[in-house]
Amino acid sequence: MAISLSTEDKLEYHFYPINGQQIQFRIKAPNDAHIALTTGPNEGEPMFEIFIGGWGNGRSIIRKNRTKPEIAEAETPGILNADEFRGFWIR
């Protein structure tokens, strides 16, 4: 099922149920894409946050329950683009 959405530049999640063990999505943004994985339709524990292109489109991280330290982080310069969609998947 394809869902198309546009969001404002603020930390507010929109929740959509998924079936299966993988999600594919595309992002068109200059920086700071945030994805939350939860067990229900709201913020709660456990919740995994995935930040793509954070810190000026230079870093991406995975964080559990909005707390540090990060579970994983990587330097990802230029991973997002404001003029084109970039594809990603989470398994």
The candidate with the shortest Cα–Cα distance to 60, out of 80, 81, 43, is 80
* 70 has a pLDDT exceeding 70: yes
Each residue's pLDDT tens digit, 5-14: 777 777 778 7
Domain ranges of the chain: 36-80
- Tell me if the bond preceding 77 is cis, omega within 30° of 0: no
Each residue's pLDDT tens digit, 25-56: 999 999 999 998 988 888 888 899 999 999 99
The candidate with the shortest Cα–Cα distance to 57, out of 74, 71, 37, is 74
- How many residues does the structure list for the chain? 91
Residue 74 to residues 2, 20, 60: CA-CA distances in angstroms?
Answer: 28, 26, 5
